[in-house]
Amino acid sequence: MRISLVTVVFFGCIQFYFSQGSISGNIETIYQYLVTDTLIGADQPAEKSLVNSYANINYRNQGFKAGVRMEAYMPHILGYPDRFDGAGLGYRYFGYENELVDVTFGNFYDQFGSGLIFRSYEDRALGLDNMMNGFRVKLKPFKGVVLRVNYGRQRFSFSEGSNIYSPALVRALDAEFNLNEWFPKMEEKNVRLSVAGSFVSKYQKDNNPKFILPENTGSYGGRFDFGYKKFFLNAEYVIKEQDPSQDNGYIYNYGKGILINAGYSQKGFGVLLSAKSIDNMSFRSDRDAALQDLQIGFIPPLTKTHTYNLVATLYPYASQPNGEVAFQGDIFYKFKRGSYLGGKYGTDLALNYSTAYAPIQNTSSIPAGDSSRVMYNSTLFDKSSLIYWRDINVTVEKKFTKNFKMKWNYFNLVFNNDIIKLTSANGKVQSHIAVIEGEYKINKKHSIRAELQGLWTVDDYINNFDPDRGNWATAVVEYTVSPDWYFSLVFQSNYGNPVEADRINYPIAIIGKIWGATRLQLAYGRQNEGLFCVGGVCRFVPASNGLTVSFTHSF
Amino acid sequence: MKKLITTICLTAILGLAFGQEEKEIFDKNVPAVDLKDVNGKTWNTGEISNDGKPIVISFWATWCSPCKKELNTIHEDYIDWVDETGVKLIAVSIDDERTKSRVVPYVDSKGWEYDVLLDPNGEFKRAMGVNNVPHTFVIDGAGKIVYSHNNYAPGDEIKLYELLLELSSN
């Protein structure tokens, strides 16, 4: 075994020396030195410092491809599950591809359609990685046809330096037909149409003494993507067979879901409408898994991904896989140059509205004493008046001179904390958020940018609005020297907390240096968790107090 | 002994990987990944070409303000860039299903004349070794990656423009 490994590596080396190939990859290291901070409930870890480190290497040569990722958690940074520890190989694959076939053995990622019943992906900053371990075949047998077969188990964890995979085996098949490649006339008439179908099945042994559980659970769906000139409409409909799990309380209902997007756009104007209805669609490769673990499908939240500190970090929304009815609308508009509202450079306007409600689950049609454990009947888009989430926001962006521009934002958020449970508030929390941003270009290389943000919660017990943690403010000042330096100061304050002792300030100082595809960033201070954008890059970060050093390099 | 050989070989591979610019043992080509553009047409990224003129590949997302700032700033001068350097800019959106459908309305409302590709599951992002967005690459006329920058600060576009001028005059 060892000899053969050495031989492979040796001939691999020879191969590397004598034939050209292409190599790409990256390195990421995040180091934290944390201090105890009783105000935000942070303790200094026994090791004092934490580090996550990753190195990806991908090699390609004439259709042959192979790659590895080394991971190290020594120990893991804040926000990662405790089962992530040690150093070792977290991802490896090899494969071959030509115009007909693309095969991959080992670890791989893939997504069918919108991902409702199959999406394996990586979001490292969130500690999420449900990669498959098995094999994948992608076949293009005819023009306009793509078939995919994915077999494997999903990564659950990385313990003592090696991957731990899901108890369930996942088998997935997808067939996609691009009709434009068959009927060239469609192209001339500006019509685009593709249709696809997928089937995903999981097998997990019945491990439950109380119920007779289905060991094989199938899930299937169909989708289409239609376009005519500047109009588009796409939709996916999925069904899941009986899948009793911890998520749904071991019910034997079928699951179903639909996601529809429609849009129209032209120069200077765009409009988008989305609708989603989900019922009992949690689909995992372990029926006892919880949180973000081992999800086979991905149910996208129909909300805008916000980037400003307060609106992005305090009250983010996550999809409710057991059931929700959600809608979203977007309008983008540009007031033309030279018009009254456009001014010299034009003015950009963006409106976004999103909302999510609890579905109606009708139990009256289920006979008393029924032992099938089918607990209710439901119809897609049949929503109740129980609101989960609402977000109305508007952004106006205007350039005044060659060197100065501003952005104004207003957000009105409502979320139901009884369901989403983000904080200790009871009932709903409503907040008004305003953000003003200005950017001034001092000269060709030097720029300064500032943000002022305020968040005000509504205190209205009659209408069941809980003030939660009260009012917040954030100020950001960022100085950049193109192309290689940036300096930022961020000051966040929960100045309006009803509990005086909890009026916490979060000051952070950041300095960063860039060498092309290499960046080094030092941040010191107290940090709230969430999507954090600074120095030109956005990433998710957990709460901490202390020094965080991050290093990234691509090659 | 075997361990030693393995170590030497691995060191050699890593050495080559990091020291490639000097030795040019490895091509820095664009890896081949199938991506759809905003019209549903499939592109093989390994076959992207621009008649011997430079190509800019810029990774962005609708939720990334610096990315949008970069692409909007370049767009103000893009026509001149195309005239002077023959450049083609390909904007690769890494928006996932949550925000993917916002890409077309956003792009059209801004009037971008770039080719916009969708990478909702990060396949191309992974293949190109991208950690964070924005990340911008420059491909020369021979299809080699000659420049890569992981950030955007106002003024960065000037350096990019100068590089494109240099590439197109060669």
CA distance A270 to B20: 45
Question: Is residue A13 predicted with pLDDT exceeding 80?
Answer: no
CA distance B128 to A106: 20
For the segment A185-199, the average pLDDT, to the nearest whole number, is: 95
Strand boundaries in A303-403, DSSP class E? 323-335, 347-359, 383-401
Please indicate, yes or no, if residue A260 is contained in any of the structural domains.
yes
Predicted confidence (pLDDT) per residue in B48-104, tens digit: 999 999 999 999 999 999 999 999 999 999 999 999 999 999 999 999 988 999 999
Contacts of A366 (CB under 8 A, 6+ apart): A374, A375, A376, A377
Q: Which stretch of DSSP H or E encloses residue A148? A: strand A145-159
SS3 for A25?
strand
Length of chain A: 555
For the segment A460-477, the average pLDDT, to the nearest whole number, is: 93
Q: How crowded is residue A71: how many other Cβ atoms within 10 Å of its Cβ?
A: 23
Q: How high is the pLDDT of residue A371?
A: 82
Contacts of A84 (CB under 8 A, 6+ apart): A73, A76, A127, A157, A158, A159
Task: Give the angle subtended at the CA of A95 by the CAs of A171 and A518, to the nearest 5°.
Answer: 105
Please indicate, yes or no, if residue A56 is contained in any of the structural domains.
no
Predicted confidence (pLDDT) per residue in A489-516, tens digit: 999 999 999 999 989 999 999 999 999 8
Closest CA to A281 of A270, A295, A260: A295
According to DSSP, the residues that pair with A162 across neighbouring strands are A159
Tell me if chain A has a CB within 8 Å of the CB of B142.
Answer: no
A365 burial (CB, 10 Å; 0-12 / 13-18 / 19+) is exposed
Please indicate, yes or no, if residue A208 is contained in any of the structural domains.
yes
Among the partner residues B10, B25, B40, nearest to A225 by beta-carbon distance: B40
Tell me if chain A has a CB within 8 Å of the CB of B80.
Answer: no
CA distance B92 to A19: 30
CA atoms within 13 Å, Cβ hemisphere of A178: 18
Proportion of chain A above pLDDT 90, given as a percent: 76
Interface test with B, best of A259, A305, A439 (most B CBs within 10 A): A305
Q: How high is the pLDDT of residue A416?
A: 94
CA distance A271 to A263: 6
SS3 for B117?
strand
The answer to whether the CB of A109 falls within 8 A of the CB of B126 is: yes
Query: How far does Cα A9 stand from its chain's mean position?
Result: 37
Q: Which one-letter DSSP state was computed for residue B122?
A: -
For the segment A408-431, the average pLDDT, to the nearest whole number, is: 91
Residues of chain A in contact with residue B16, where contact means CB-CB under 8 angstroms, are 16, 23
Please indicate, yes or no, if residue A396 is contained in any of the structural domains.
no
Predicted confidence (pLDDT) per residue in A271-329, tens digit: 999 999 999 999 999 999 988 899 999 999 899 988 888 988 888 888 899 999 999 99
According to DSSP, the residues that pair with A53 across neighbouring strands are A29, A72
Among the partner residues B25, B98, B111, nearest to A300 by beta-carbon distance: B98
Residue B124 in tokens: 């191309």
Q: How high is the pLDDT of residue A16?
A: 53
Closest CA in chain A for residue B4: A6
For residue A244, give its domain range: 98-266+275-300
The answer to whether the CB of A70 falls within 8 A of the CB of A35 is: no
Instruction: Say how many domains are in chain A.
Output: 1
CA distances from A400 to A341, A346, A478 (A): 12, 9, 20
Residue B59 in tokens: 């990774």
The answer to whether the CB of A399 falls within 8 A of the CB of A405 is: yes
Question: Is residue A49 predicted with pLDDT exceeding 90?
Answer: yes
Residue written as tokens 């060191």? B11
Q: Do B126 and A109 touch (CB under 8 A)?
A: yes
Class of domain B25-169: alpha beta
Q: Do B97 and A10 touch (CB under 8 A)?
A: no
CA distance A345 to A342: 6
CA distance A544 to A313: 14
Q: Which residue has the higher pLDDT, B170 or A192?
A: A192
Q: What is the ipTM of this complex?
A: 0.90
Q: How high is the pLDDT of residue B1?
A: 53
SS3 for B142?
coil
Q: What is the 3-state secondary structure (H, E, C) of A479-498?
A: EEECCCEEEEEEEEECCCCC
Question: Is residue A90 predicted with pLDDT exceeding 90?
Answer: yes
